[in-house]
Every structure is written in structure tokens, then in C-alpha cells.
């Protein structure tokens, strides 16, 4: 039953991504050229909602679908790590025209060439696992 909940949440997320045009290559292109506010508005709204939801989870001690308490662990502050990771992520986003959420939305919308990008993302994740311990912390 929990899997059905996850599936329904994923479908709702995909519909929201598609209808808001957050999965649109043209909108992403506009954003990287600083030609339109559309994507910045979507990202800003997501950040604000994320902050509100995280604070609500902490304040009301919300539990997971499995009944476990949701805990937020502090991340280590490493500027080089985040700069390098952000650069690679942004470069991939600009080249592919999609970040991970919209990639799956585009598959669901029938844009099958994005499967090549998903294969590259999986390969990149696998490669990261191989070199993770050798990267700066």
C-alpha cells in the first residue's frame, strides 16, 4: 500500500513538473540565458515550500510512512566539494536541458531520447561511487 502512495506522489510530481513547464528545455534555456523569471520563480517557490515543510516536520515531529521519526542530520561544510558538485550538476543540467526530476517527467510525457541522458546520469552516479573516497571532503 505504501508503494501505491509513492507512485501517486510521483505521478502528481510529474504532472506538476510538466504543467508548470519546469521540464521544458526552452524554459531551462531561458533561465540559463537570464531571459525570463519563470524557472527562478518555480525554484524559489520550491525552496520556500521546502523550508516551511522541513520546519513543520521538525516542529510537529512528523513520522515517515513506516512510522519512523524523520531526522535531519547536519551536513559537513566543505566549500570545494559543493563548488565542484554544483559545477558538474549545472553543466549537466545545461547540456541535457533537464535535471533528475524533469528527466523522468519527460520519459512519462513520451520524450524517449531523454533515456540517453538518464543512462548517462546512472553511469555518472556509478562512477561517483568508484571515486567518492578520493574526492575532497
| DSSP per-residue string spanning 59-107 | HHT-B-TTSPBP--PPPP--HHHHHHHHHHHHHHHHHHS--HHHHHHHH
For residue 63, what are the β-bridge partners? 69
- pTM beyond 0.85, yes or no: no
- pLDDT of 137 reads 67
- pLDDT of 127 reads 94
Structurally, the chain folds into a number of domains equal to 1
Residue 60 belongs to domain spanning: 2-134
- pLDDT of 71 reads 92
Q: What is the mean pLDDT of each run of 10 residues along the chain (137 residues)?
A: 86 92 90 92 95 96 90 85 87 84 90 93 92 82
Phi, psi of 69 (to 5 degrees): -65, 140
Amino acid at each position: 500500500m505504501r508503494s501505491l502512495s509513492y507512485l501517486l506522489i510521483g505521478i502528481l510530481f510529474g504532472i506538476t513538473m510538466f504543467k508548470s513547464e519546469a521540464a521544458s528545455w526552452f524554459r531551462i534555456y531561458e533561465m540559463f540565458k537570464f531571459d525570463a523569471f519563470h524557472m527562478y520563480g518555480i525554484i524559489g517557490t520550491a525552496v520556500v515550500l521546502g523550508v516551511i515543510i522541513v520546519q513543520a516536520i521538525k516542529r510537529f515531529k512528523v513520522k515517515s510512512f513506516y512510522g519512523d521519526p524523520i531526522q535531519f542530520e547536519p551536513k559537513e561544510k566543505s566549500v570545494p566539494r559543493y563548488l565542484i558538485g554544483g559545477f558538474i550538476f549545472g553543466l549537466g543540467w545545461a547540456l541535457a536541458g533537464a535535471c533528475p526530476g524533469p528527466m523522468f517527467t519527460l520519459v512519462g510525457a513520451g520524450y524517449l531520447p531523454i533515456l540517453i541522458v538518464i543512462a548517462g546520469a546512472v553511469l555518472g552516479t556509478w562512477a561517483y561511487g568508484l571515486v567518492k573516497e578520493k574526492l575532497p571532503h
